[in-house]
Amino acid sequence: MSELTIREMGQDEEFTAWFGDLLEMEAERSGSGIVLDDRYLVLSNEIGDWIGGLRYHLRGGVAHLVDVAIAPDHRHHGYAHRLLAAFEERAVESKAHLAEFWTDDHRSEGLLAALGWRRVMEREGYIGGRTWSLMEKPLATPP
């Protein structure tokens, strides 16, 4: 038997594609059809400079918002709102029925609530020992 090795891999390596294919085959075999699908939205200006972005994944009809970030010199212009709206549109187009987002930024909860999100649960001492809230928003799926 050959020597086995376990190591971490970056997302840009060939393993990501191979592993994704393997997960899809397993989902088809089991009939679950539930595969994690990582996606990114990028906001750029007219000359192509990146202003910010959003990372999310889709799994079984749930669009899970992972990260939203705007470059410091471009904040407070509503760009995060535009990214959130684009995220919700793409999620609905992909037939997601629910969007969710874990956050430890309690200031963002007010903004999310104004946009139709609600806190489902709060977890004290969660990631980094901080209190995190799970926010969700039902999505209207097209007929």
93 or 142, which is more confident? 93
Structure confidence by residue, pLDDT tens digits, 1-31: 578 656 766 666 677 777 777 877 877 787 6
Structure confidence by residue, pLDDT tens digits, 67-121: 899 999 999 998 999 999 999 999 999 999 999 999 998 888 888 888 899 999 9
Cα 136 to Cα 25, 86, 94, 102: the distances in Å are 30, 16, 17, 9
* Domains of the chain and CATH, by start: 14-138 (3.40.630.30)
| CB neighbours of residue 45 within 10 Å | 9
